[in-house]
Amino acid sequence: MRTSIVVVLAALLALAPSCKKKTTEPTAGSAAVAETGSAMGSAGSAAAPTPPPAPTGPTDPQIAAIVVAANQVDIDAGNLAIKKTKNPEVKKFAELMVTDHTAVNKGAVELVTKLKVTPEETDASKGLVAGGADNRAKLEKLDGAEFDKAYVANEVAYHKAVIGVLTSQLIPSAQNAELKSTLVGVKPAFDAHLEHAEKLQAALEGGGGSAMAGHEM
């Protein structure tokens, strides 16, 4: 169980270095320009404007692929939980995950289609998919309360990881204003999912579902 979370986290954390390698390695030409600029600047002459720093995070097509992969992983885990759990609160949560992440993916796909951005897979997006499959394989072997606890614990860890990457990498790196705005706009939904999952986890560890009453209307 923990291994699959680690795989997902590792894939997400690997995102910045892998993308940095692709986007920041200076070419011979750019290095020469940088050196020239620096020399001119130190001489105090009217130097050409300093070029903006090269982007260090994922590109918009890479962000699109990561977003779609992250949502799909949670949709797949949710569908498994709907099939396996006997706990009504866990089932309700899983149904919400499927509904919300499906809707987010639909919106994301519509946006990148409109923007003519073709999602570009990276080690991070592939790692998310592989980690999700690994996680589901492990969950498949569990039943009853053991399954519920493992599924919900994974949801807590997963949403924490996704929110972290969304905040620290995807939102700051997004170049298209509409894509950035969409990422900012979707974060509250993920925050709410995390809060819901944590309450559910506390209820399950307390041995019952009554603690979830505070989450109900």
Binding site for other proteins (CB under 8 A): 96, 99-100, 103-104, 106-108, 182, 185-186, 188-189, 191-192, 195-196, 215-217
- Least distance in Å: CB of 188 to other proteins? 4
- Rounded to whole angstroms, the Cα distance separating 91 from 101 reads 15
Of 75 and 150, nearer to other proteins (C-beta) is: 75
**Residue 83 corresponds to which tokens in the numbers above?**
């099939």
**Residue 92 corresponds to which tokens in the numbers above?**
């309700």
**Residue 143 corresponds to which tokens in the numbers above?**
């039943």
- Least distance in Å: CB of 150 to other proteins? 24
Farthest CA pair distance, the chain: 74
C-alpha separations of 116 from 17, 109, 111, 169, 176 in Å: 26, 10, 8, 22, 11
- Least distance in Å: CB of 152 to other proteins? 17
- Least distance in Å: CB of 132 to other proteins? 20
Of 138 and 215, nearer to other proteins (C-beta) is: 215
Of 40 and 189, nearer to other proteins (C-beta) is: 189
Residues 168-196: b if buried by 16+ CB within 10 A, e if exposed? ebbbebbeeeebbebbeebeeebeebbeb
Of 34 and 103, nearer to other proteins (C-beta) is: 103
- Least distance in Å: CB of 103 to other proteins? 5
Of 51 and 185, nearer to other proteins (C-beta) is: 185
Sorted by sequence, the CB contacts under 8 Å of residue 124 that are 6+ apart come out as 11, 12, 14, 15, 18, 19, 58, 62, 66
